[in-house]
Amino acid sequence: MAFTLRTDDELEAALAELAEAQGLSKQEVVRRAVLDLHRRTQHRSRVAAASAASRERWDEVLDRLGSV
């Protein structure tokens, strides 16, 4: 599936520099950046959910430990 990515001078320069430095096409640089951001965002969401579940599970114990 194709789409058009509009860039400004700053983005175009950064993209060209990254592509050259990594030996990749500009398309591949954009692809990797988007996928990396997606993975990191998903990871943060999973960590936040696990943290909330742990706090809920251990809340009473942590309160008792804090009052000793």
Number of domains present in the structure of the chain: 1
pLDDT in tens, 6-57: 999 999 999 999 999 999 999 999 999 999 999 999 988 888 889 989 888 8
pLDDT (0 to 100) of residue 8: 96
In a domain, 4, yes or no: no
In a domain, 1, yes or no: no
DSSP calls for 40-56 = HHHHHHHHHHHHHHHHH
The residue-averaged pLDDT of 58-68 equals 84
In a domain, 2, yes or no: no
CA nearest neighbour of 16 among 28, 26, 27, 8: 26
In a domain, 3, yes or no: no
Give one word for 23, left, alpha or beta, with left for phi > 0 and alpha for psi -120 to 50.
left
Q: Which two tokens stand for residue 61?
A: 């114990």
CA dihedral 15, 20, 21, 22 (to 10 degrees): 90
Top-confidence residue, 63 or 17: 17
In a domain, 57, yes or no: yes
Q: Which domain holds residue 39?
A: 9-66
